[in-house]
Amino acid sequence: MSLIGPSSRKGGQKSGARRNENNRIYAHPLPLVCPAPAPGHILGLFGLSTARLENPHCEGVFDPATRSVWITNEKDSTILWRRGFFGKGDLSRSEPSWLARQVNTRKAAGKYMTSEEVREKRRAERRQFKLDRAAAIARAAAEAEAAFAEGREAAPALIPSGATWKPSATSDAPSLPEPPAEEEDDAELDEEEEPLENVEHLQLTLQETWFLVWNLDCLTVLDSQTHEPLTLQQIWRAVQDVHCIPRDLPVYVDRFDNPFLVNYAAYHYYRALGWIVKGGIKFCVDYLLYKRGPVFHHAEFAVVVIPVYEDPADQESSPFNLPNANTFSWTWLSTVNRVNSQVQKTLILTYVTIPARSRISPELLSSPACLAHYTVRDVVLRRFIPARMRD
């Protein structure tokens, strides 16, 4: 006899259908696609393949102020997000879904609450509960003091709890919208409403931009002033110069510890291993590693990039204040590790060794060939929990 009820079976079918749909939409791990060869082609008899690599050739505008590249074309944004989860919507948490949310908000007007409205309602109720509980505690304390002064027994205090508390009618929490008294024709409402324009763009980091340009050759970067395509050499200098302000100082020239080079060495290391690499500032780390992508699973690992100078003299003369370049404290390490352990992420300390200027000619920095001289090694850090790790 099956122990799964009808409602559970229905929910499982729904989640299974959604999983299959995600597998279809996000089937390609990179923007470059190699379609399956046509069956029965005559070249297959000789062991030759007819498949050709499809390159989407996306375009983006370089923005030095935000140290990013903006993908304004909606088609290119969809391709880069669905094929490797590159970039982030500037008006969204991750996937550029601002337009879809606005459409759903219009449809939900006067009928039901959107997810954003439900979240605000819960936050308002939580604030009201804390205020009611604090007021009840204050009244109980005042009653206890008055009873002690009068020599009588204090009345039992009623302190609200999260399980029994209900929002009152005078609460500040927003209520569910009431249905309209008279239903109007949907066609007339659509004619009165102004059409929505998608004002959101996909924002690529410098590391993602260089990976798409140099390794995949599927992105063309345009100058923000002239809107002319930048050459590979111009992009290479631009992604480094954004960290050199003012740019005309000679102290910034020919530095192997440029923040872009250090962070890109770690980014390329994990991307080359097949991980989906996203920013991890929310969890006090540099990167988050996803096995397939944010749509399928939560991030399994949190990465902290730690620069290591091969020559200590380079660190003393460095104009860059690289994070974690100095010896970190146990308090900092314990704090970061505990934050990520609470969200079930394993902390990885990624040490990027910066080559010494005395050993390698600074002229090598004029091309991406200098990246071959950076070494990356990672150390996995786990919290010891005696109750779970007795073996």
State how far the Cα of 81 lies from the Cα of 115, in Å rounded to an integer. 23
Mark whether 290 is an active-site residue: yes
Active-site annotation holder among 88, 268, 278, 345: 345
C-alpha torsion 193→199→200→206, nearest 10: 180
- Asked whether the bond before 246 is cis by omega within 30 degrees of 0, the reply is yes
Tokens of 189: 């409402």
CA-nearest of 174, 79, 67, 75 to 120 is: 174
Active-site hit among 107, 282, 297, 298? 298
Cβ–Cβ under 8 Å, residues 32 and 44: no
Q: Is residue 345 flagged as an active site residue?
A: yes
Torsion, Cα 96 100 102 104, to 10 degrees, reads: -150
Catalytic residue among 264, 270, 290, 309: 290
Helical H segments across the chain, by residue range? 6-25, 74-82, 98-108, 115-150, 186-192, 206-210, 232-241, 259-272, 312-316, 330-342
Pull the structure tokens for residue 339. Answer: 């934050």
* C-alpha 299 chain-centroid distance: 10
Q: Is 268 a catalytic residue?
A: no
Find out whether 51 and 104 touch, Cβ atoms under 8 Å. no
Residues designated as active site: 290, 298, 345
